[in-house]
Structure 1
């Protein structure tokens, strides 16, 4: 019976070794598949990142183009407004100068009238001092 136990123990040890070998082979095979999958997945992730970065760059370029267009449009509007405002300022200055000239002419007329009136009074006063009678108004 001891012989049978030894034989059985030997067979059991052989079976364990064989089973352990198969388990190790399966683990190695499985690890290889896992590594392949990880590499494949990493490749896909890298491809997606590159694609996404390309899209981001395209969007940034497009957005920058729109910003530049808007800035140009806005600058054009600012220039138009400045030109319009400059024209209005010129018109206002011309109008104001016309009013100033009118006022100066009116004032000069009043000054001339006052000078004539004053000269008439001076002449009357001189005539009075010289004995000439004063006209009756």
Structure 2
């Protein structure tokens, strides 16, 4: 959970690097909260089914998705920086299917060792 909070605290940081652990722990807790809010939408009658809530047709799910838009983009850009790629590579996710697969591949890659054009390796120093 501390990695999720750390990513939220850096929600406007588009220039540094993010380790794989930071990115994937953020993603894990993001998805857990998506299901929690979808369940709340369904339980409180704001959505007719869990599928509707996951399609952002409830009350809490869309609010959460909007609130997490900038932090999720920021942590993805920082993750791309850690693999020595420009943050603009995030736009490849707009290409159906193949773009998402390429982006996932980039986020799974190991970090650049040491120093790259986006700064020092986050593995060299503790995050918190």
TM-score normalised to structure 2 length: 0.22
Higher helix residue share: 1
Q: Which has the higher contact order (CA 8 A, sep 6+)?
A: 2
How does the TM-score come out when normalised to structure 1? 0.21
